[in-house]
Amino acid sequence: MPSKSRETIQAIQHELARKGFDPGVIDGIWGHRTERAVRLYQASHGLLVDGIVGPITWKALFGTDSIDSEWDNPAIPWFQEARRLMGIKERVGPGSEPKIIEWARSAGIAYNDDDIPWCGLFVAHCISSTLGDESLPSNPLGARNWQRFGAPCDAGLGAILVFWRERQDGFKGHVGLYAGEDKDGAFQVLGGNQSNSVSLARISRNRLLGARWPATVPYSGKKVVLAKGQTMFSTNEA
């Protein structure tokens, strides 16, 4: 899943700045200042003010149709933030990865040890850092609590997928973002605390409890069918 999303966001930031709408530092990272600049641009051009660069806002900004790669779609900025963070790992032994602790601090979540499962924290960071008006579920560290986030949706690119772990009728779970699926009964999930890192994991669709979409963003998730992948499913993401 080679990423051009950072270059895409930089292009949006540059075009906003050129048109007089300050997105902050042109760094390819979708933050609240960039979101506010998009909202101001949309309001000034009679567009739907949602802070999302969908096909209509993209065409207004650039005069062309949207980008070809669905994975690079700027209309799902929380997914692009997740891609940017791929490879971050928790620390083995004493101490915690500072970036993971900073996610919690910025989102106002009590968390100080990356030995505690952090898949829910990762999704909370991706949502809260890119969607200023979106409400997180209560206790977002609990993976199954994400079943009450936003609105139910079909499983599509960028959707928040909630899975059970160990027992379907238990309390343990896992949460991550839809990055694709295959014909052999599995989702490709981009998430945190997968092999103790931000990575892709192949998870059986039989474990899916539900798919959710941010309430403040028009649904744009698309089904992405991938080539045949691994033969083993992930069974323990903590």
Q: Which pLDDT belongs to residue 30? A: 93
Percent of the chain residues topping a pLDDT of 90: 82
pLDDT for position 3: 59
The token pair at 62 is 């650039």
Does residue 118 have a pLDDT over 90? yes
Cα–Cα dist 79/5, whole Å: 10
pLDDT of residue 228: 67
Angle at 143 between CA 141 and CA 147, to 5 degrees: 120
DSSP H or E stretch at residue 41: helix 32-44
Amino acid 180: pLDDT: 93
Kindly write down the DSSP assignment for every residue of 2-65, as one continuous string. Answer: ---HHHHHHHHHHHHHHTT---SS-SS---HHHHHHHHHHHHHTT---SS---HHHHHHHHSSP
Per-residue pLDDT, 185: 79
Task: Give the C-alpha separation, 45 to 171, whole Å.
Answer: 48
pLDDT band at 230 (very low <50, low <70, confident <90, very high): very low
Confidence of residue 232 (pLDDT cuts 50, 70, 90): very low
Q: At which residue do the structure tokens 């609590």 appear?
A: 145
pLDDT of res. 35 = 94
Identify the pLDDT of residue 196: 95
> What does the pLDDT look like over 182-223, one tens digit per residue?
888 799 999 999 999 999 999 999 999 999 999 999 999 999
d(CA 160, CA 158): 6
Q: What percent of the chain clears pLDDT 70, i.e. is strictly above it?
A: 93
Q: Which domains does the chain have, with CATH numbers?
A: 5-75 (1.10.101.10), 78-213 (3.90.1720)
pLDDT at 131 over 50: yes
C-alpha closest to that of 176 among 119, 234, 118: 119
CA distances from 214 to 24, 186, 234 (A): 24, 23, 26
Where does the pLDDT of residue 105 fall: very low under 50, low under 70, confident under 90, or very high at 90 and above? very high
pLDDT greater than 60 at residue 153: yes
User: In the chain, what is the straight-line distance between the N-terminal and C-terminal CA atoms, in Å?
Assistant: 23
The pLDDT assigned to 234 comes to 52
Backbone angles phi, psi at 197, to 5 degrees: -150, 170
With residues binned 3-state (H G I as helix, E B as strand, rest as coil), the percentages for the chain, rounded to 5, are 30, 20, 50
Average pLDDT value over all residues in the chain: 91
Q: State the angle between helix axes of 119-128 and 98-107 in degrees (0 to 180), rounded to the nearest 10.
A: 60
